[in-house]
Chains A and B, each alone.
Chain A
Amino acid sequence: MNIIVCIKQVPDTTEIKIDPVKGTLIREGVPSIMNPDDKGGLELALRLKDQFGANVTVVSMGPPQADVIMREAFAMGADRAILLSDRKFAGSDTLATSYAIAGLCRTLDYDLIIAGRQAIDGDTAQVGPEMAEHLGLPQVTYVCDAKLLPNGNLQVHKENEDSVQVLEVEGKCLLTVLASAFEPRYMTVSGIVEAYNREVEVWGADKIDYDETKLGLSGSPTKVFQSFPKAMKAPGEVHEVSEEEAVELIVNKLKEKHII
């Protein structure tokens, strides 16, 4: 079985802070990590590899610095790594991104494509399904469990808000998975030692078959009109009062709001 896993390097958004004075994002010193849902996807692929044998190829689109997550994928157990890196991809929205990665996938021989549900920098959850559509593949999103059935089909659990759907997929497909369902394995020491001795294939746009108008900025229907730091809410009222006054104040506030 040949599995493609789509991974992305993202800033660890839990480490991003806002400059309290200027109200701007402080991105300095924010570590770059493999997107958690994607890492869950890689874990699923490696579990399938452990159980049934598989060739796991990780693919990513991004700047050359994304090399480090490809090495991490090697150290976890990936067999091959391809980084799609070209200025032509700059400014891609989800549609243009999915178009480019789908183009990459088309050049490979695969049985299954796994992507993370969403990336923590964009939180869109769109690239996976958009890729599936480009490739004409069935999709299952929000996957929390997957196994190979004796008939060669995949049995997949999809986690909805209030239920879990058990689905059976025939043939090639694309899954997007939840990090919480697939706790990723640690890199092994020998994997780490070898990681930088292996080759991360860096591909330019010329390696895929593409229509120029569908790439990058020109292939992106959506444009960022403006972005701005989130307006800080007015801070809560601070009351420097005695305990008893505080009690009355809280109770009155709650009454005023018709909460009690």
Chain B
Amino acid sequence: MELKDYKNVFVFAEQREGNIQSVAFELLGKARDLADALGEKVVAMLLGYNVKDQAQKLIEFGADEVIVADCPELKDYLSEQYSQVVDQIIKERHPNIVLYGATTIGRDMAPRIASRLKTGLTADCTKLEVVADEKSNNELQFRMTRPAFGGNLMATIICPNNRPQMSTVRPGVMQKRQREVGRQGVVTSFVPTFDTSKFKVKLVETIKEDKTVVDIADAKILVSGGRGVQNKEGFDKLQALADVIGGVVSSSRAMVDNGVMPHDRQVGQTGKTVRPNLYMACGISGAIQHLAGMEESDFIIAINKDKFAPIFSVAMSFFVETQILRLYENGNFFEIEFLDVLEYLEILDWVTRKRNNNGKSTRSC
């Protein structure tokens, strides 16, 4: 087969417990752009058990075709089972491009498949584009851009001589399309043949993390704490603020590494990428790894006792010695002073007290 015979943009539509993950829709959004630029189709691969009903949703988010493999062996994600099926689909359909979410599933399976197909895989892409390559008669080239060196460097990767061209994409990076209810597409059923002799890993049980499941990637307002918040008590205060303004508390890597916050609250290169409407960075100096995870936020307020902290390179800077921020709740404003972080936390105390005293903040503006 020649390279040009590989066609279409495939998306691995990740589901967990039958729920298609947000990243799948994000990938479809990007796949749509790529396929349109290439004049090709978007094909989603949906693997699982009792999931075929959801194929239509993938079409409504941009897929032209959905290949569904629906069988009991695929109920829970297991590397070998899933890899065999995706490998078979790819070998049968010869896609040009395959996209996976850079999740614990996508990052487990995609390299396994890349190695099986002896093709290239680019991890954790933040930008995917199809560009007419001037050096080769304006042939359309797939370019994958990703951060390296802890986010200090960006690298654009190409996969010129192997197909499919594959990449994993971090959740939260690509934009979903507006859902087009009733959009028409093809649903193809795929019946895999399993080599069960290779099933060496057995799922004993799944322990749901015992924490109120908040996905910081979904939050509209994040109140995020770093080293300057110091400890659990500091984070309790951030939680108090978050409660007031309807936000969720997130954390820098430092405070996860030292055990103050759980890993699922970590923003940044090794944590999650977030793009909330408001990101309040409290006591976070803004190492490049952290910035990589939050700089796409719509609006960033940074509070730090170091006026020269790198966080201020992305943040709307409010570090005048004494400042007052009035926050809005239920039609009322109340005031929070911004000093440096330590003093700032005392002000959060004040907020909490005020709430406790008044039952509710009533200061109007």
Contacts and interface: CB of A to CB of B under 8 A. Distances in A.
Direct A–B touching in the complex (beta carbon < 8 Å)?
Answer: yes
B320 A243 contact: yes
Interface string A138-165: 1111100000000000010011111111
B324 interface: yes
A152 to B, nearest CB: 13
Contacts of A133: 111-112, 115-116
Interface in B265-292: 269-270, 277-278, 287-289, 291-292
B331 to A, nearest CB: 10
B274 to A, nearest CB: 14
Contacts of A124: 111, 123-124
A192 interface: no
A195 B365 CA distance: 69
A133 B256 CA distance: 32
A121 B123 contact: no
Contact of A14 (B156, B202, B287, B325): B287
Interface in B100-135: 103-105, 107-112, 114-116, 118-124
B112 A130 contact: yes
Given A139-B108, A223-B160, A164 B207 contact: yes
Contact of A18 (B143, B152, B200): B152
A240 B270 CA distance: 35
Nearest to B319: A238
Contacts of A159: 104, 263
B111 to A, nearest CB: 4
Contact of B326 (A11, A161, A251): A251
Nearest to B204: A166
Contacts of A16: 149-150, 152, 288
B157 A222 contact: yes
Contact of A246 (B76, B263, B320): B320
B151 interface: yes
DSSP majority for the B interface? mixed
Contact of A225 (B114, B157, B202): B157
Given A141-B107, A232-B313, A246-B320, A162 B264 contact: yes
Contacts of B16: 162
B315 interface: yes
A237 B300 CA distance: 11
B108 A228 contact: no
Contacts of A132: 112, 115
Contacts of B85: none
Interface string B195-228: 0001011111111110001000000010000000
B322 interface: yes
Contacts of A231: 154
Contacts of A199: none
A247 B123 contact: no
A250 B320 CA distance: 13
A229 B115 contact: no
Contacts of B245: 260
A254 interface: yes
B246 to A, nearest CB: 9
A94 interface: yes
Contacts of A155: 204
A13 interface: yes
30 contacts: A16-B150, A94-B114, A123-B270, A124-B123, A126-B114, A128-B111, A129-B111, A139-B108, A139-B112, A162-B208, A162-B209, A165-B206, A168-B204, A169-B200, A170-B201, A170-B202, A173-B201, A222-B157, A222-B158, A226-B156, A227-B155, A228-B153, A230-B151, A233-B314, A235-B314, A236-B300, A236-B317, A251-B326, A251-B333, A257-B299
Given A162-B208, A163-B209, 17 more contacts: A14-B150, A25-B149, A95-B118, A126-B110, A129-B109, A129-B115, A130-B111, A132-B115, A141-B104, A166-B207, A226-B155, A236-B316, A244-B324, A246-B324, A247-B324, A251-B328, A260-B327
Interface of A: 11, 13-14, 16, 18, 25, 93-95, 98, 120-134, 138-142, 155, 158-171, 173, 180, 220-233, 235-241, 243-244, 246-247, 250-251, 253-254, 257-260
Q: Which 8 A-B pairs have the closest CB atoms?
A: A13-B150, A221-B120, A133-B115, A222-B120, A260-B328, A124-B123, A126-B111, A221-B162
